[in-house]
């Protein structure tokens, strides 16, 4: 589905089959010489087909099109190398280039497996989770040749002139685009309105939740009249939503502390005590991949509380245990 938002600025809704996210908002800016596509969808036929049909409807020539990828997650980056041509620039952050590189990727997933096991994740559940993990199944077929962009870099397309804003938290190198003249914020998964972004543990980020909350404050200072998120509804009041997201994490931190009232627990044991927005009646009903995301977010909140001195962490029998300080 193609929707014109402003002159020469369009939203393409790319379906994400069997994902609770439902769809990706890909944005297209048309210029006289070149066009820009922001985020692409999973590397699967069900995403490629509607993308190509929509670009053809907009008369966008891929040989004269560049791409901006807000962050590494497969629902945003999956089709980047498929759609990019020899003449395309693929704008991407520097921090995440080594992560999406295929060199050493098997070792990375093995290390991740071991880390989640140490946090109490049962082996059989973890094996099921990795079988269906979208990052393993729907990432790009090959690594694109990236044009690295950093804080303050400018990308001009047609009547639009976007400034790159670094916003790590949801991912290690997450980046937004801000159009100061038209007061537009393209925010990827930094701010979502119908759902909350997943803030998980990353080996590349020291205290990912702290960084996420800091970067919410950072974008709250921008003058914004139109927010273009990576999923679900578009919005205009980013400051109100930022306040809601801050409160959401305050409540989640409180739930984590309550879970530790009775003594030492692993992140796996804390996760069922947290309120998750998922259509399941109990923790046992969660699909394995959703348990993986939930435990990762639990670890991020535990790390935040540990850094604050409220929670302490220790190793016992190869397991990471948390307790109230």
**Which domains does the chain possess?**
2-103+141-245 (3.60.15.10), 105-136+255-324 (no CATH)
Residue-level pLDDT at 102: 65
Residue 58 CB neighbour total at 10 angstroms: 16
DSSP letter (8 states) at residue 272: G
Burial 210-235 (b: 16+ CB within 10 A, else e): bbbbebbeebbebebebbbbbbbeeb
The CA distance from 91 to 146, in Å, is 6
Q: Which two tokens stand for residue 202?
A: 């990353």
Nearest to 72 by CA among 32, 118, 39: 39
DSSP letter (8 states) at residue 265: B
The CA distance from 70 to 176, in Å, is 6
Q: Which two tokens stand for residue 27?
A: 């944005």
The CA distance from 190 to 197, in Å, is 7
Nearest to 313 by CA among 301, 321, 302: 321
Written as tens digits, the pLDDT of the chain (325 aa) is 899 999 999 999 999 998 889 999 999 999 998 999 999 999 999 999 999 999 999 999 999 999 999 999 999 999 999 999 999 999 999 999 999 886 557 788 889 999 999 999 999 999 998 888 888 889 998 888 999 999 999 999 999 999 999 999 999 999 999 999 999 999 999 999 999 999 999 999 999 999 999 999 999 999 999 999 999 999 999 999 999 999 999 999 999 999 999 999 999 999 999 999 888 889 999 999 999 999 999 999 999 999 999 999 999 999 999 999 9
Bridge partners, residue 315, by sequence: 320
- First CA to last CA distance, the chain: 52
pTM for the predicted model, two decimal places: 0.96
What is the distance, to the nearest Å, from the Cα of residue 176 to the centroid of all Cα atoms in its chain? 11
């Amino acid at each position: 589905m193609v929707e014109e938002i402003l002159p020469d600025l369009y939203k393409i809704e790319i379906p994400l089959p069997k994902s609770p996210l439902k769809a990706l908002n890909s944005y297209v800016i048309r210029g006289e010489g070149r066009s820009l596509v922001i985020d692409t969808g999973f590397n699967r036929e069900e995403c490629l087909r509607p993308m190509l049909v929509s670009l053809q409807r907009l008369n966008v020539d891929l040989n004269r099109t560049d791409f901006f990828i807000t962050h590494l997650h497969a629902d945003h980056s999956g089709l980047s190398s498929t759609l990019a041509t020899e003449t395309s620039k693929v704008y991407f952050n520097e921090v995440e280039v080594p992560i999406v590189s295929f060199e050493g990727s098997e070792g990375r997933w093995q290390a991740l497996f071991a880390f989640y096991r140490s946090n109490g994740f049962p082996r059989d559940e973890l094996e099921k989770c990795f079988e269906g993990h979208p990052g393993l199944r729907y990432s790009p077929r090959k690594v694109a040749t990236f044009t690295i962009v950093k804080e303050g870099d400018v990308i001009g397309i047609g009547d639009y002139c976007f400034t790159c804003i670094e916003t790590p938290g949801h991912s290690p190198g997450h980046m937004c685009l801000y159009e100061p003249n038209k007061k537009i914020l393209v925010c990827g998964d930094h701010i979502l309105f119908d759902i909350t972004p997943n803030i998980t543990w990353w080996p590349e980020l020291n205290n990912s939740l702290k960084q996420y909350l800091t970067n919410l404050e950072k974008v709250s200072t921008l003058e914004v009249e139109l927010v273009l998120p990576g999923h679900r509804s578009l919005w205009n009041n980013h400051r109100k939503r930022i306040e809601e997201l801050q409160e959401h994490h305050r409540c989640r931190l409180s739930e984590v502390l309550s879970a530790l009232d009775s003594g030492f627990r692993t992140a796996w044991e804390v996760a069922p005590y947290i309120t998750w927005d998922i259509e399941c009646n109990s923790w046992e009903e969660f699909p394995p991949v959703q348990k993986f995301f939930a435990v990762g977010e639990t670890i991020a909140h535990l790390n935040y509380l540990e850094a604050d001195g409220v929670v302490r962490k220790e190793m016992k029998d190869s397991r990471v245990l948390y307790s109230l300080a």
